Structure 1
Amino acid sequence: MSYEVESKKEIPIKENIFHMFPASQPFVEYPYNQCAVVGNGGILNNSLCGAEIDKSDFVFRCNLPPITGNISKDVGSKTNLVTINPSIIIQKYGNLKEKKAIFLEDIATYGDAFLLLPAFSYRANTGSSFKVYYTLKESKARQKVLFFHPKYLKHLDLFWRTKGVTAYRLSTGLMIASIALELCENVKLYGFWPFSKTVEDTPINHHYYDNKLPKRGFHQMPKEYSQMLQLHMKGILQLQFSKCEIA
């Protein structure tokens, strides 16, 4: 199943949404030279990649991961864009009702980063995504909200289907890696490792901050990772498989 944006039925929106959209190109220094796409894989623990990540010109992160405290030595702290899955807004932040203050406190750790949401991918995502926009606007937060263009989501889905990735939906990691390849001259991926053991056969958690496994049937992680490996072998991007070298 692909995104609802492919449906001929329009997603019903009762409000004027155009004032939410950027008036100009938000990525002012595009194309960026060196970009880091930081996944959330457990392989990041004890990787000491934080300093290398933070030296990048533009850093992408996925789904509001923790970056403060001792973990920053492994994952870095610089963030230029971070995605938010609308399910996080509903499940973790109570759809920004009683937990609005906690949400604002959490996103403050990302500085001036863009918050990217799939408001127009599925009907269920629209309301929560709009709530993020209005919450930030009302609180005069530093972060700015961006929405995936529905046609971009459609064509991204169709492109990866031609490569054999026919999952219910693409993973956030693959989507952000795709965006990085469009915005950056050089792309390096950290924390992309969908396995339970390292190359040295050491057991690792699924995420660097917990061991919660994804829902079955939503993504095709082996096929996605196979595509990333092919891009790595062709020199189109770099995958970091192990600890980073300390300069």
Structure 2
Amino acid sequence: MLPKSQPFEGIPFKQCAVVGNGGILTNSSCGAEIDQSDFVFRCNLPPIWGNAVADVGNKTDLVTVNPSIIALKYGKLSEMKTAFLRNLTSYGYAFLLLPAFSYSSNTAISFEVHHLLKKYQAKQRAIFFHPNYLKSLAQFWRGRGVRAYRLSTGFMITSAAIELCKDVKLYGFWPFSKNLNGKPISHHYYDNQLPKPGFHAMPKEFYQVLQLHYKGVLKLQIGACQKR
């Protein structure tokens, strides 16, 4: 079931977009720019259809899947397999990255997604972070002051993108309730559901993202994108 080598072809990718789900994306007109990237990372099965496309695009090469989404939205796939597979069609041939080895409670549901995709010959393919990679990543950032119950999905994907891509640009990473002009914005571009308090070290993560931006390791898009 587990691959003998990493699943990506053509690495390092040239231009990558890591698309967070921040409300800062609303009315950003960044969709076209995101879709022009060579490889697009997305987080936690976000909606990429309808009016949102103009702001977030719809090209997806890898999308993470939080097991809590499978549990809450799809009843742990016990009765809602068809709805889950139908909604996945929006992501084309994307890799589905699941945290199978981050906690033992995530393993069974992650394997269930893998087997479901294989059984129904879905276009998507399930992949997992190697447990040693997760451990090394946590230790690396802990040594730089990011101490939390768990790194956020967006921060983990950003770290992986830096390793896989020559140029990385982040969209939708903004952990504040107001934009640069002081206008209130929702937590996500599709809802205002806040994260569990104390679960992630979001301010410290964002500080590290800013440091990477200032050092030229990646680019952080905060305002609206220029229309081309």
What's the TM-score, normalizing by structure 2?
A: 0.99
Q: Partner letter of residue 122 of structure 2? A: A
Query: In the comparison of the two structures, how many residue pairs are matched?
Result: 228
1: distance between equivalents of 2:30 and 2:14?
Answer: 19
Higher alpha-carbon Rg: 1
* Equivalent residue in structure 2 for 1:77, among 58, 83, 96: 58
2: distance between equivalents of 1:204 and 1:121?
Answer: 31
Q: Partner letter of residue 164 of structure 1? A: G
Q: Which residue of 2 aligns with 1:125?
A: 106
1:113 counterpart = 2:98: no
Task: Kindly report structure 1 stretches of 4+ aligned residues shifted beyond 3 Å.
Answer: none
Point out where structure 1 has 5 or more consecutive residues left out of the alignment.
1-19
Q: Which residue of 1 aligns with 2:219?
A: 238
2: distance between equivalents of 1:56 and 1:166?
Answer: 32
Q: Partner letter of residue 222 of structure 2? A: F
1:90 counterpart = 2:90: no
* Equivalent residue in structure 1 for 2:49, among 55, 63, 68: 68
2: distance between equivalents of 1:134 and 1:108?
Answer: 17
2: distance between equivalents of 1:43 and 1:114?
Answer: 25
1: distance between equivalents of 2:4 and 2:60?
Answer: 22
2: distance between equivalents of 1:23 and 1:232?
Answer: 34
Deviation, structure 1 residue 24: 4.1
1: distance between equivalents of 2:66 and 2:108?
Answer: 12
1: distance between equivalents of 2:13 and 2:90?
Answer: 23
Deviation per CA, 1:161-202: give whole Å up to 9, x if none: 001001000000000000000000000000000000000111
Deviation, structure 1 residue 70: 1.3
2: distance between equivalents of 1:200 and 1:235?
Answer: 25
Point out where structure 2 has 5 or more consecutive residues left out of the alignment.
none
Q: Which residue of 2 aligns with 1:200?
A: 181
**Alignment of structure 1 residues 199-218 onto 2, 5 Å:** 199-218=180-199
Q: Partner letter of residue 150 of structure 2? A: R
What's the TM-score, normalizing by structure 1?
A: 0.91
